[in-house]
Structures are given as C-alpha cells and as structure tokens.
Amino acid sequence: MRIALGSDHAGFDLKERIRQHLETGAIEVKDFGTTGRESVDYPDFAFAVAEAVASGKCDYGIMVCSTGIGMSIAANKVKGIRAALVYNVDVAAQSRAHLDSNILVFGQKYMTPEEAIAAVASWLATPFEGGRHERRLQKIVAYEAKAAR
C-alpha cells in the first residue's frame, strides 16, 4: 500500500507523527511536504497529494492543516478525489464504508496524535460497503464527469 502525505505548516507536527507511525508498518509513504513550520500555502500540498491519489501513483492520501477545512476543499477540486475531513475514529471508518473516501484529512488543532493514529488505522481497515452506497457514489461520479465538460 502506498500512502501520500501532505500538510501545511499548521499541520506539520501531526503529519510527522502520522508518517512515523505508518513507516513502522508495511506501508510505503510518499511525503509531499511541507518540511517544517515555516508558513506555506496549503493548496500546493493538497493538490500534490490529491493528484498522486487520482493518478494511481498512491493508493490513498492523508493530509493535515490547522482545521482540515482548507486541505479538504482543495483536494476535492481534483477529479476522482473524495477527501473526508474527519474528527474521530467512527467518522473515519464511515467515510470509507459509505463514501469510499480516498483521502483522509485532519485538523491538527482538533485531533491529538493518538486520536489521529487510531482514526488512520480504522480508516485503512474499513472496506467500502458498496450496495446502496455504490449507487449514491455513482451519482457523484456522474455529476463530476458532467461538470468537468
């Protein structure tokens, strides 16, 4: 499994903790930055992670900024991306089970490293349920294709 990571300066510390955790397992991590706490623009990193996931270069993405809102909005502009801003383990799992999210987004201000790592584990372990959720997801995919023309 290949996971793209990204953050801005306000999410750097949590991204680093998540990266360290993922690297202890059998997960290949591609870190798109940022590399420190110096002020940067979150869309640059959100687009890089989202493009890596949309192109298939990475299977999933995880992103962090201060609130998670900016990163999730930016990533969801990339065709094929379903970035879910989550705030606990249950929401992370549901974003996979019902929405087949392919990018997980956190707000560093609102998640402890322990909560975020537990949410990542739950998200990665939860399969998409399909069924009625597939029908709904296909409506989103169809709209996205129509809107892109």
Please state the rounded mean pLDDT for residues 63-75: 98
Q: Which domains does the chain have, with CATH numbers?
A: 2-147 (3.40.1400.10)
Q: Active-site residue 65, yes or no?
A: yes
Alpha-carbon gap, residue 22 to 49, rounded angstroms: 16
**How remote is the C-alpha of 100 from its chain's centroid?**
11
The confidence band for 127, taking pLDDT boundaries of 50, 70 and 90, is: very high
pTM listed for this prediction? 0.95
Catalytic site residue from 9, 21, 58, 98: 98
Q: Active-site residue 58, yes or no?
A: no
- Whole-number pLDDT of residue 148: 74
- Whole-number pLDDT of residue 147: 84
Local structure of residue 11 (DSSP, 8 states)? G
Alpha-carbon gap, residue 89 to 99, rounded angstroms: 15
Please state the rounded mean pLDDT for residues 73-80: 96
Please state the rounded mean pLDDT for residues 18-40: 95
Catalytic site residue from 9, 21, 58, 65: 65
**What is the maximum alpha-carbon separation in the chain?**
45
Read off the amino acid at residue 130: G
